[in-house]
Amino acid sequence: MSDMRYFEDFRPGDTIPLGSKTVSREEVISFAAEFDPQPFHLDEAAGAASLLGGLAASGWHTIAMLMRLMCDNLLLNSSGKGSPGVEEVRWMRPVRPGDTLSASAEVVSARVLNSRPELGMVDFLFTLADQTGVTVMTQRNKILFARRETVR
């Protein structure tokens, strides 16, 4: 993305593509070993015996991969000022080694803050889908952006 994005650049109904990432077996196991060492994230046999039906990435790993795509394709070239928090995360399908995940951000709403008129808040619905187009995760949260008119 070559142009810096400001609050005014986000219109309700817009969908912003955030790129894609292929998930490797090594990174699934490495992330799980450090942050979520449940057997179905570490071992193929344990994964196959679980409700997940096979080795699967931790949901927290899935969120981290979405965050990387958000940074690379939206936040690092924006006037983003942070977020008041994540409102909802839904893990809908297991993410498997070899999956290629594609992310998008839908602008749900946008408003200028009454208390800080130099900032606007954008409500996003982030979607992560696998290579077949099946949604594996959604995340809903707001992000604060500086307004173009107030940047000096």
pLDDT in 10s for each residue of the chain, 152 residues: 458 999 999 999 999 999 999 999 999 999 999 999 999 999 999 999 999 999 999 999 999 999 999 999 999 999 999 999 999 999 999 999 999 999 999 999 999 999 999 999 999 999 999 999 999 999 999 999 999 977 65
pLDDT tens digits for 135-145?
Answer: 999 999 999 99
* 33 and 55 Cβ atoms separated by less than 8 Å: no
Which three-class secondary structure state does DSSP give residue 22?
A: strand
Model pLDDT, residue 124:
98
CB atoms within 10 A of CB 43: 15
pLDDT tens digits for 98-122?
Answer: 999 999 999 999 999 999 999 999 9
How does strand 80-91 pair with strand 15-22? Answer: unpaired
CB atoms within 10 A of CB 45: 11
* 15 and 105 Cβ atoms separated by less than 8 Å: yes
Model pLDDT, residue 150:
72
Which CATH number is associated with domain 7-150? 3.10.129.10
* 130 and 136 Cβ atoms separated by less than 8 Å: yes
- Sign, CA dihedral 26-64-147-6, equals positive
| Distance (Å, whole) CA 119 – CA 106 | 19
